[in-house]
Chain A
Amino acid sequence: MGNSCRQIGIVLPLGGIMRDLGTLLIMSGFAGAGLTLWLGLAWAPSVSIDAFEAPISQKIFYWHVPSAWAAMIAFTLLFIGSLAWFIKRKEWGWNLHVASSEASLAFGLMAVWSGCIWGAAEWGVPWDWTDIRLNTFALLTLLAIFLVLGRKSQPDGIETRDTFATFGIYGFVLVPITYLATRFWQIRHPGPVVATSEGSLNSDMGMVLALGAISFTMLVIGHTICGIRLTKMESRLIEIQDIMDKEGI
């Protein structure tokens, strides 16, 4: 019994700093996202009525672009976590994989959802199956769905982790393709608007967009930190239960 408690005592401290930091980042991110929403609607200049079919709907841009940006950060973290687990068998790598796959799914769905709504307003159709950017991003989001749901349906183990980590590693190929898609094959999705050879965004619009990007970065990092802590706690709970079972407590 004393032995089991010592073992459990080692694994129980869970780092209140991580919880506080994660929560602080999420709350700050929410505040920044709220401010972005307000500035985008009330302060940022409207786009030219002639350039867009639905100029008011264009204001979704202030959340759509940052959510896609946050999804890309999450997919990059997923890649790092998957590599760390697959090559070095690092426990933190697996925790990062789990947390960032959930973040990828949430932000990926937000970007797809807002994009579909904007597409319906601007193009008259919510989706274009011939557009490379749309479809590679959708594939990335589907990959995140597979990773999150697949992991929940499988018992945890080295084989399961290796399988999902492999998908996390190979799926990352789609990130640079998605990023560069509108530069090489601009079909329907608008091309880059910041610091391009054809000029940049209006400075007020750029400032609101930058605030959105910073806020969503805080949100994705905060959520990933909280997710890592959650995964650690789940693993520790299983570990303690195993010890208790073995010792018949």
Chain B
Amino acid sequence: MADTIYLAVAYLGMLTGLAIWTWTVLSRSKNLEARLDAIEASLNNSEE
């Protein structure tokens, strides 16, 4: 039983780490994209 617990803890730790990291990268990317789009839109508006 202890053997299974070790396995579960190891897999859960890796899964959680991988999921958090992926989420961080994708959300940072989305956030930056939105900021760049907003800057571009505001510059286009001020040009008009």
Which chain A residues numbered 214 to 242 have a C-beta less than 8 Å away from chain B? Answer: 219, 223, 226-227, 229-230, 233-234, 236-237, 240
Flag B18-48 by CB within 8 Å of A: 1 or 0 each.
1001100110110011011001100110110
A45 at the interface (CB under 8 A from B): no
Residue of B nearest to A33 (CB): B18
Residue of B nearest to A236 (CB): B36
Residue of A110, A118, A227, A229 near B17 (CB, 8 A) is A110
Q: Which B residues lie within 8 Å of A30 (CB)?
A: 18, 22
In the complex, what distance in Å separates the CA atom of A217 from the CA atom of B21? Answer: 16
In the complex, what distance in Å separates the CA atom of A195 from the CA atom of B45? Answer: 64
By the criterion CB–CB under 8 Å, are A226 and B7 in contact?
no
For this complex, into which size category does the number of interface residues on chain A fall?
Answer: 35 or more
Would you give the shortest CB distance from A181 to chain B, in whole angstroms?
22
By the criterion CB–CB under 8 Å, are B36 and A117 in contact?
no
Residue of A nearest to B20 (CB): A106
Would you give the shortest CB distance from A116 to chain B, in whole angstroms?
8
By the criterion CB–CB under 8 Å, are A118 and B43 in contact?
no
Q: Which A residues lie within 8 Å of B3 (CB)?
A: 54-57, 121
A114 at the interface (CB under 8 A from B): yes
Q: Which A residues lie within 8 Å of B18 (CB)?
A: 30, 33, 106, 110, 219
By the criterion CB–CB under 8 Å, are A63 and B17 in contact?
no
Flag A109-125 by CB within 8 Å of B: 1 or 0 each.
11001100110110000
Residue of B nearest to A23 (CB): B26
In the complex, what distance in Å separates the CA atom of A55 from the CA atom of B28? Answer: 40
In the complex, what distance in Å separates the CA atom of A109 from the CA atom of B10? Answer: 12
Would you give the shortest CB distance from B35 to chain A, in whole angstroms?
6
With A12-B36, A63-B11, A223-B22: A230-B29 Cβ-Cβ less than 8 Å: yes
By the criterion CB–CB under 8 Å, are B4 and A240 in contact?
no
Would you give the shortest CB distance from B2 to chain A, in whole angstroms?
7
Residue of B nearest to A229 (CB): B29
Interface with B: A2-10, A131-139, A186-194, which one?
A: A2-10
Q: 14 more A-B contacts (CB under 8 A) besides A12-B40, A64-B10?
A: A8-B40, A30-B22, A56-B7, A63-B11, A63-B14, A110-B17, A114-B14, A117-B9, A223-B25, A233-B29, A233-B36, A237-B35, A244-B39, A249-B46
Q: Which residues of B contact A (CB under 8 A)?
A: 2-4, 6-7, 9-11, 13-14, 17-18, 21-22, 25-26, 28-29, 32-33, 35-36, 39-40, 43-44, 46-47
